[in-house]
Amino acid sequence: MVNATELISPEWLDTGDNAWQLTAASLVALQSVPGLVVLYAGWVKHKWAINSAFMAFYAFSAVLVCWVLWAYKMAFGEYWLPFVGKPGQSVTIDYQLGQSCLPSFPICQNFPQSTMIYFQFVFAAITLVLIAGSFLCRMSFYAWMLFVPLWLTFSYTVGAYSLWGGGFLAKLGVLDYSGGYVIHLSAGTAGFVGAWWIGPRIDEDLEDSQPNNILMMLVGAGILWIGWNGFNGGDPYAASPDAGVAVLNTNLCTAFSSLVWVGMDLAYFRKPSVIGAIQGMITGLVAITPAAGFVAGWGAICLGLASGVIPWVSMNIAGRKLSFFAHVDDTLEVFHTHFVGALVGGIGTGIFATVDGIAAFGDSNPGGGIDGNGRQVWLQIVGGLFIIGWNILWTSLIMCFIKYVLRIPLRMTPAQLEVGDYAIHGEEPYTFAHYNIKHEVNPLMRRRTTKSNTDVEQSNSGVLMGQDPGATRERQASSGNSIREAKGNEKSTGVASGAEPINI
């Protein structure tokens, strides 16, 4: 019979490490749901708010199911190939209660396997959510439903095992503290390549792509920033001094990068942009991720300066003047914030990583260029090139498989692209609907009213149905004289919603 004490408090368990690891994992989960869900919903035009938020929400759910059934062991399991582990399930109770170990290193942690599975899941999930940022406002939801498990299986697990699970890049000595390459470089590459395969948004959305709610964007951005304390602070796999260093450096680099970006906007555009501040925040978070616990505070400041300047130039100068970028519609500029930001951070890690920081993390790497190990810069470049090449190949293969083998279009239909959320999901993001679309009456609305269908159609004209409220009122005025004469001075309501006034 199993000893209950051994199950409740085994010798290898450090309750402090386990508590911090679960807290860090929860912080990272909040970055996706609700962080990026809210950020995306506010960043796009109002007609795409639901679809954009739902793409992120779906990815979070789908990744977890795939993760526990086969993908976790591909990323952190036993050796199978130099770049990926053996696939297998991780849902049995004895496995989940056992001590967390990475067999290909091999190293073990002072918390259970279930904690490690969940902690690594939230990293996998946010990678797919970040990729969605490049595809918003035109990718078929059915194609997205297939893309998520396929890309997780054939791309994410390879990068994770190669760098974190004991694969060939880890053995080579490439450094990636918390996902600069595994998450952000891969997401930036896959997003850019996938956006090319899907094609651009329709002209109407390209010409008018103003965010529908910048305050909502700030809420999402704030959750993303603070959640990054778990993103980087959890990767020593212990409540250690290096975890504290990682959290401090994360916030220092991010604050500096955001301020630099605002300064660049002021110098070039003569206005401080809130969206620019968010972009600078994101590039700072991305750049510090591969270096967080490896660098000193002044190294974090240097990375913040670089991540505030280089991606800004990439986005606002190169992105608008080089024909290369004109062929790809990257909706939320994921290439510039995550691809470029990750390269800044990854190569910067090769320059600024310290021997003491790496030792505090539990590694014996001889540091970066500042400690006389210039070879580390080249190793970081090699690691980055592998991640880029692998994602170009597999993102393209997956898109071709969905489009040409499964015969599922990558893009929405023209009618869906014109209407947006209502045509795809039968729902609107706000109680007042956008005014620039035309669609049929939702059957659910017919069932939920006691009026006749004719009355329903009339009551949903105007703003909801994409008609000019002024024209609606003129028609009502021309046809309603006899009604007004009969009713006298009775009051009416409903004008604000674009519906036919209801006499009281």
pLDDT band at 438 (very low <50, low <70, confident <90, very high): low
Phi and psi, residue 451, nearest 5°: -75, 165
User: For 390-404, what is each residue's pLDDT tens digit?
Assistant: 999 999 999 999 999
Higher pLDDT, 498 or 319: 319
Cα–Cα distance, 270 to 264 (Å, whole number): 9
List the alpha helices (DSSP H) in 176-240. Answer: 186-198, 203-207, 214-233
Interval 142-153 mean pLDDT: 98
Helix crossing, 141-151 with 113-135: angle to 10°? 140
pLDDT band at 473 (very low <50, low <70, confident <90, very high): very low
317, pLDDT greater than 90 = yes
User: For 279-292, what is each residue's pLDDT tens digit?
Assistant: 999 999 999 999 99
pLDDT band at 440 (very low <50, low <70, confident <90, very high): low
Q: Please name which of 153, 172, 152, 147 lies closest in space to residue 162, comparing C-alpha atoms.
A: 172
Q: Contact at 8 Å (CB) between 263 and 255? A: no
Higher pLDDT, 452 or 156: 156
Which domains does the chain carry? 20-405 (1.10.3430.10), 440-503 (no CATH)
**pLDDT for residue 324:** 87
Q: What pTM was computed for the model?
A: 0.85
**pLDDT for residue 429:** 84
Interval 310-318 mean pLDDT: 96
**pLDDT for residue 5:** 67
Q: How many CA atoms lie within 13 A of 7 on its CB side?
A: 9
**pLDDT for residue 105:** 86
Q: Exposed, middle or buried, 101 (CB in 10 Å: 0-12/13-18/19+)?
A: middle
**pLDDT for residue 428:** 84
**pLDDT for residue 81:** 94
Look over the chain and give the mean of its residue pLDDT values, rounded to a whole number. Answer: 88
The number of beta carbons lying within 10 Å of the beta carbon of residue 488 is: 6
Q: Exposed, middle or buried, 384 (CB in 10 Å: 0-12/13-18/19+)?
A: buried
Higher pLDDT, 449 or 195: 195
73, pLDDT greater than 70 = yes
Q: Please name which of 88, 77, 37 lies closest in space to residue 60, comparing C-alpha atoms.
A: 37
Q: Contact at 8 Å (CB) between 131 and 46? A: no
Q: Please name which of 150, 141, 206, 197 lies closest in space to residue 413, comparing C-alpha atoms.
A: 141
Cα–Cα distance, 324 to 320 (Å, whole number): 10
Q: Exposed, middle or buried, 89 (CB in 10 Å: 0-12/13-18/19+)?
A: exposed
Q: Contact at 8 Å (CB) between 201 and 44? A: no
User: For 174-189, what is each residue's pLDDT tens digit?
Assistant: 999 999 999 999 999 9
User: For 345-362, what is each residue's pLDDT tens digit?
Assistant: 999 999 999 999 999 999
